[in-house]
A = this chain, B = another copy of it.
Amino acid sequence: MIKIVILGAGNVGTHLFRVFTQAKEVQVIQWYNRSLENIKQHQKEVALTDQLDHLKEADVYLLALSDDAIPITANELAPLKGIVAHTAGSVPMDVLKQHTNRGVFYPLQTFSKNRAVDFKSIPICIEANNDQNKETLTKLAHTIGENIHYINSTQRMGLHTAAVYVNNFTNHLYQVGAQICEEQEVPFDLLRPLIAETAVKIESITPKEAQTGPALRNDKTTLQKHMDQLSNPVFKNLYLTLTESIQKNDEYSKL
């Protein structure tokens, strides 16, 4: 049985609390949050605290906090026997270096508070400062998932940047699509099958193979029609920049 304390009650902290309380070989013995207000409805399930100096003895302390709060909170913690691990993509493990046992437990997924996620398929990226801690974090990951990877701080930073492209930026493109539909008074639903197919396609072929469209073909007539059609200057600029990126990338990959 692995005993853990979760720190933080944002999206990641809340999802980790949910999934670990259901896992068999894990016991969530405490949940810390700066404000008890958000978590007090769980007081019958788990010990709650808003005091960093009241943390119980555990095998792992998961700092599911904002990037800025991770080093601050790590500094405020008294020396602990257990592993102090954060859950962030773009924070190096080194910010925890005052702790003897440290690591990272980064689930690579987008979390929304009211949307269930299937941890079984989520990549869990692990880093640790020694083999024993790595083993403990791996065991912990196996209690909820099956897709576990050892990723160092530099690689994780890269993954997080890549994740911004395929999640935040992609979602923004969906929003641009939605706004164009709104302007044209056509339902956004018309784009949904295309969005789904675009994502599904790259499960069997690479994004490079899947690339199509006027930018890749350098079809100047269509590119101009699209530019003329766009009224929003920000979307126009986005169109040009993405077109240029597709074309430069294609040239580059032909070298």
Contact = CB atoms under 8 A, between A and B. Distances in A.
Contact of A249 (B187, B199, B226, B234): B234
Interface string A135-162: 0000000000001010100110111111
Interface string A179-208: 111011111111111111111111111111
Contacts of A185: 155
B112 A175 contact: no
Number of copies: 2
Contact of A173 (B155, B165, B177, B226): B165
A35 interface: no
A18 to B, nearest CB: 16
A130 to B, nearest CB: 22
A222 B174 contact: no
Given A110-B201, A210-B112, A213-B168, A245 B249 contact: no
Interface stretch (A19-27, A50-58, A117-125): A117-125
Given A108-B190, A175-B211, 15 more contacts: A67-B222, A90-B225, A108-B193, A110-B198, A151-B186, A157-B229, A158-B180, A159-B191, A161-B180, A162-B177, A166-B174, A171-B201, A172-B215, A192-B202, A241-B241
Interface of A: 67-68, 90, 108-110, 112, 115, 117, 121-123, 125, 147, 149, 151, 154-155, 157-181, 183-208, 210-216, 219, 221-222, 225-226, 229-230, 234-235, 237-239, 241-242, 244-246, 248-249
12 contacts: A68-B221, A112-B201, A115-B205, A117-B197, A125-B190, A161-B229, A163-B194, A164-B239, A165-B180, A167-B195, A171-B212, A178-B206
